[in-house]
Amino acid sequence: MRTARAVSVVLLWLPLAAWAQVDIQDPWARATAPGAKVAAGYMVIRNKGASPDRLVSASTPSAARMETHVTQRDGEIMRMREVKGYDIPAGGSFELKPGGAHLMFVDIKQPFKDGERVSVTLRFEKAGEKTVEFAVRRAAPMPHGHGH
């Protein structure tokens, strides 16, 4: 009976231990113009664990859906494409930043205004779900040739 109880306790703590291995730093979303239907979100994901993890999806009540995107150069034009998540190396980090990887808020319910906060639930392959607050802020204009 003791062994079964000890195993149960360990199994309950495993998801918490994995969750604690992922740290989100500086989550923010770009403020949008009135009438905009999409917004972009950025952050740094740090994996303090000994094994890699993967951000597989995200959701928010502020948009119909969220997508994981990367921006790549195609000749003189920067093009955005959807990807199936982001790999976060063991003991490493992955940065979502303007002009690179980003979360796309699709069909936002209202404009994102500077100073507001947007709640986002991130889903990791191993660490499970983690809800974070994205600060909405103005940002410098996108580089010339950026194609959404």
Stated as kind and residue range, the H or E segment containing 127 is none
Token pair of 18, please?
A: 């994995």
Helix (H, G, I), strand (E, B) or coil at 84: coil
More confident residue, 144 or 22: 22
Provide the mean pLDDT of the chain. Answer: 86
Q: What is the DSSP letter of 49?
A: S
Q: What is the dihedral of CA 66, 71, 74, 77, to 10 degrees?
A: 90
Token pair of 11, please?
A: 């199994």
Q: Which domains does the chain have, with CATH numbers?
A: 2-141 (2.60.40.1890)
More confident residue, 127 or 8: 127
More confident residue, 24 or 11: 24
How much is the pLDDT for 144? 45
Instruction: Tell me the pLDDT tens digit for each residue of 79-124.
Output: 989 999 999 999 999 999 999 999 999 999 999 999 999 999 999 9
Whether the per-residue pLDDT at 130 is higher than 80: the answer is yes
More confident residue, 99 or 18: 99
If you average pLDDT over residues 34-57, what whole number do you get? Answer: 96
Percent with pLDDT over 70 in the chain: 80
| CA-based torsion, 51, 18, 22, 101: positive or negative | positive
42 within 8 A of 109, measured Cβ to Cβ: no
If you average pLDDT over residues 58-85, what whole number do you get? Answer: 94
How much is the pLDDT for 74? 85
